[in-house]
Chain A
Amino acid sequence: MSDALTVVVLLLVAGSATATVAQRDPARQALVLSFLGVLLAALFTVFQAPDVGLSQLAVGSVLTPLLIMLSVRKVRRRARSEEGTE
C-alpha cells in the first residue's frame, strides 16, 4: 500500500516538474511551481520527513511564488511605464 502511494506521488512530482519547465510564461510557471512545492511537501511526508515537509510548505507554497510574482509585477510595470513614456 505504501508502495502505491510512493509511486503515485513520485509520478505526480515528475509530471508537475515537467509542467513547470514547460510553462514559458513566468506568472503561469509560478502557479505550477507552487503546486510542485505543495506536492513535494506531500512526498516528503511519504518519505517520513515531516521537518523537511514543513519547510518545503513554508518556502514552496508562499515564499517562492510571492518572490516570483513580485518580480513579474515589477518587470511588467516597468514595461508598461516604458510604453507609456514612448
Chain B
Amino acid sequence: MSRLRLWLLAVGGAGLAALLAAACLELPGFGGSRHPYGDRAVHASLSRHTANTIASVNFDQRAYDTLGEMSILFAAVLGCVVLLREARDEHRARPEPTDVARPVRRYALLVLPVALVTGLYVIAHGQLSPGGGFQGGVVAATALHLLYLGADYHALERVRPLGVYETTDALAVSSYLALGAAGVLAGTAFLANTLLPYGTFNTLSSGGAVPLLNAAVGMEVASAVVVLLAHFLDQAVEIEEEPGRGTP
C-alpha cells in the first residue's frame, strides 16, 4: 500500500469526519416533530385515497422520481447485458448437472410457488400495506432462481426465455411512460394522477393511477432482475474463455 495514499486517506478522512460530526451536532435532534413536507405528503395521500403514503409519494406525488429510478434499473440491466455479452474469444459450455440432496430439492420446489405468490401479493398490495412493485418484483424474480438452487441451471433455463423477459422489461417502462404522457395529452401534467377515479379508501383499486404505475414497476423489476441474474449466472456457470487466448 502506498504511503501517499494512507496520508491522503488520513487527512481527507479526518477532515470529512470533522465536517460530518460538526454537521450532525447541528442537526435537529433525532425524533423531532418538524416534518413539513412529510405532513403535506400524508395529507395529499389521504386526499387521493391511497392508504400507503409511501406508495402515494412514490407513484403519485413524486412519480417523476420513480420514473428516473426505474430508468436506472432499465439502463443498468441494459448495461449489464451489453457488458456481460459473450466476447469474441468466449464460448458456452454446458455445465455438469448438480446432485442436490433430496430435502433441499423438495424445499426449493415447495417454496418456489409460495415465494412467487408472496411476490405477487406484495406487488398487488403496494398501495395499501407495506410493499410495492419494487419489493414484490425482486421477491418474484428471486423465487424463480430457487430452480437453480433446488435443481440445476438447466432447469432454470427452461423456464426462462430471456427474450420474453427483456421485452416485458421494456414494455413495462413504456407503459409507465405512456401513463405519464396520458396526463400531458389530457392537458394536465406529466404523470398527473387525475384521470382515474380514486376509488374507496383501503381497497385494491383505490388511488387512481397508483396501482397501475405500481404494477408497471413490479413487472419491470421482476423481469429486469431475472435478466440481470441470468447474465451473471451465464458468466459464472456457462461462458468460458477459449483456452490459450487469455490475457497474460
Complex contact B235–A55 (CB within 8 A): no
Tally of chain A residues near chain B (CB < 8 A): 21
User: Taking the complex as formed, is A21 at the interface, i.e. its CB lies under 8 A from any CB of chain B?
Assistant: no
Task: For the complex formed, measure the closest distance between the CB of B110 and the CB atoms of chain A, giving whole angstroms.
Answer: 17
Complex contact A70–B246 (CB within 8 A): no
Complex contact A54–B145 (CB within 8 A): no
For the side of the interface on B, what is the size category? 20 to 34
Question: For window 40-86 of chain A, which residues contact chain B by CB distance below 8 Å?
Answer: 50-51, 53-55, 57-59, 62-63, 66-67, 70-71, 73-74, 77-78, 81-82, 85
Checking B142, B236, B240 against A71 with a beta-carbon cut-off of 8 angstroms, the contacting residue is B236
Q: Report the separation of the CA atoms of residues A71 and B55 in the bound assembly, to the nearest whole angstrom.
A: 34
Complex contact B232–A67 (CB within 8 A): yes
User: Taking the complex as formed, is B122 at the interface, i.e. its CB lies under 8 A from any CB of chain A?
Assistant: yes
Given the interface contacts A62-B142, A70-B235, A81-B241, does A54 sit within 8 Å of B229 by beta carbon?
no
Main secondary structure of the interface of B (DSSP, over half): helix
Main secondary structure of the interface of A (DSSP, over half): helix
User: Taking the complex as formed, is B28 at the interface, i.e. its CB lies under 8 A from any CB of chain A?
Assistant: no
Complex contact A55–B134 (CB within 8 A): yes
User: Taking the complex as formed, is B52 at the interface, i.e. its CB lies under 8 A from any CB of chain A?
Assistant: yes
| A71 CB contacts on chain B under 8 angstroms | 232, 236
| B54 CB contacts on chain A under 8 angstroms | 51
Query: Which B residues form the contact surface with A (CB < 8 A)?
Result: 52, 54-55, 122, 130-132, 134-135, 138-139, 142, 145, 225, 228-229, 232-233, 235-236, 240-241, 243-244, 246
